[in-house]
Amino acid sequence: MTTIQPEKISLNLFKFVVVIPIFRGNSMTEYDVLIVGAGIIGLSTGYHIKRRDPKLNVLILDKLGAAGQGSTAKSVAAFRCLFYSRTNFALADSSAEFYKHVQNDLGFDLKLRWAGYLWFFDKDGYGKMRPVLEDLARRGFQYKEFDEDEIAKKLDICTDFADDEEAKLMSLGDIYRGILIPKAGLLDVDSLVKFYESEFLKLGGKIQYNTAVTRVIVEPRIALGMPGEPYFWQEADVVGVETNSGSLRAKKTIIATGAWASQLLDPIGIECFIKAKKRQVFSIKANTEALKNLLFTKEFTNAGCLPFTILPKPSAYIRPAPEENALWLSYADDFPRAFKIEDDPQPEENYYRYGLYQVVSKYFPQFAGCQPFSAFAGLYEMNTIDGQPLVFEENDLIVAGGASGSGILKADSVGRIAASLYNGEEYTMLYGDRKFKVSDLGIKNRSIEPERLVI
């Protein structure tokens, strides 16, 4: 028990002050909207808010020196439009359609490449996936199925580990079926960032780089001008942020800081359910005939390269990077990978050596002896409730994020939904005139159809 010194306490709140309630907004210039984070979600949100009302005074802040340099830059920049969950499908498909529109109609090259997703399943996994796929087929979705022999022949890979004791010890799944999702592919994330950034600026939006937000400022609605406000009996709201170069006020503050969100939200007691998980990507140069043949295979699509390819078990994946003559290897590991916020996450040599290399080279002998020429690591902003994006408002603060590794492939939709929430609308129109209920991505009335087609 702490003993409080009685002499230090004066008990009459109103004794020392002539109470002149100070109503907000008279003091200094305020922005209409402050967006913290110039990653893909912050940029898309800023763009759609300005697009809807160009008169608004919108400022995006980022701690780094340019747009999209945080986790956005570490994305593998793949997208797919086949999802079981109607929520996921709406968010992803309309974002992809918008990116197509940007490239085809607006003439802004996003380097979209419809390389498809090629998904391998072992017998057990395929058995579980079959009813899901049949459902999707009934709903009119297109995909193609390949059996193990076709796959082995088309890619010159190993699909069966019956005689491989090592593979058995590693519990690798045999490839029993492959599912090709044609409406899926790759894009260039820098170009997508540039699109949103330049359009936002064209509409009169402002961006301030190298500005680290240190805290969110909360003030009482009716300030009494006394020390330590707000007291708990005062209604209070977010009125802006403190940065390394001074305070900034705004009518609405939007947190789009991805994996770092809880660093700003925990101190004001707002739960965003976002935790950071490191993801690592290792890039292999296609400098042998076998790897070149693999990377530039024409067996599956007209895109001129291998589809984004997912192994059966564990579901490590290969992301073709034809522009740089490389194949990227990665895996989204779960338990016991830590939830941990890091400012500069690093790839781990052993993660490739004992992890990705061992798994991938068992299926793809083309990788035998391959070493990465480069590697990078980023943070997924995991929404630990359901892995889907979150867009919600509390006390004049909006949070947009939690896409859990799907930020690029859902960014346009999430930005539109955040803009609608800002505008106080019940529904938003996603690209392609698809109506989406804003509160479905919120916390209180969250309504998300669970995904059954998970990598």
Q: Contacts with a second copy in 203-262 (CB under 8 A)?
A: 218, 222, 224, 226-228, 230-236
23 is a site residue for a second copy (CB under 8 A): no
CA 275, CA 441: separation in Å to the nearest integer? 17
Distances in whole angstroms, Cα of residue 381 to Cα of each of 87, 95, 396, 406? 18, 19, 22, 9
288 is a site residue for a second copy (CB under 8 A): no
* Least spacing, CB of residue 442 vs a second copy, in Å: 14
Q: Which of 50, 249, 275, 279 binds a second copy (CB under 8 A)?
A: 275
CA 282, CA 357: separation in Å to the nearest integer? 10
- The tokens describing 81, both together, are 């439009």
Q: Which of 18, 28, 162, 169 binds a second copy (CB under 8 A)?
A: 169
Nearer to a second copy, 60 or 270 (CB): 270
Nearest residue to 420 (alpha-carbon basis) of 3, 37, 51: 51
Nearer to a second copy, 328 or 422 (CB): 328
Distances in whole angstroms, Cα of residue 54 to Cα of each of 105, 201, 448? 22, 11, 31
Which residues fall within 8 angstroms of residue 98, CB to CB, at 6 or more apart? Answer: 412, 431, 432
Nearest residue to 87 (alpha-carbon basis) of 423, 406, 422, 421: 406
269 is a site residue for a second copy (CB under 8 A): yes
- The tokens describing 169, both together, are 């010890």
Contact positions with a second copy (CB under 8 A) in 435-454: none
Stretch that binds a second copy, among 11-19, 55-63, 137-145, 239-247 (CB under 8 A): 11-19
407 is a site residue for a second copy (CB under 8 A): no
384 is a site residue for a second copy (CB under 8 A): yes
380 is a site residue for a second copy (CB under 8 A): no
The DSSP-derived string for 231-245 is PTTS-EEEEEEEETT
CA 82, CA 337: separation in Å to the nearest integer? 28
- The tokens describing 349, both together, are 């040599």
* Least spacing, CB of residue 66 vs a second copy, in Å: 16
CA 75, CA 34: separation in Å to the nearest integer? 25
* Least spacing, CB of residue 129 vs a second copy, in Å: 20
* Least spacing, CB of residue 395 vs a second copy, in Å: 6
* Least spacing, CB of residue 181 vs a second copy, in Å: 24
Nearer to a second copy, 211 or 330 (CB): 330
Query: Mask: binding to a second copy, 70-109, rule CB under 8 A, as x and -?
Result: ----------------------------------------
427 is a site residue for a second copy (CB under 8 A): no
Contact positions with a second copy (CB under 8 A) in 291-330: 314
Contact positions with a second copy (CB under 8 A) in 343-372: 346-347, 349-355, 357-359, 361, 369-372
Radius of gyration for the alpha carbons in the chain, expressed in angstroms and rounded: 25
Nearer to a second copy, 191 or 395 (CB): 395
Q: Which of 194, 385, 437, 439 binds a second copy (CB under 8 A)?
A: 385
* Least spacing, CB of residue 349 vs a second copy, in Å: 6
Q: DSSP E strands: which ranges in 55-116?
A: 58-61, 78-80
CA 146, CA 119: separation in Å to the nearest integer? 10
Stretch that binds a second copy, among 39-47, 301-309, 331-339, 415-423 (CB under 8 A): 331-339
Which residues partner with 237 through β-bridges?
219
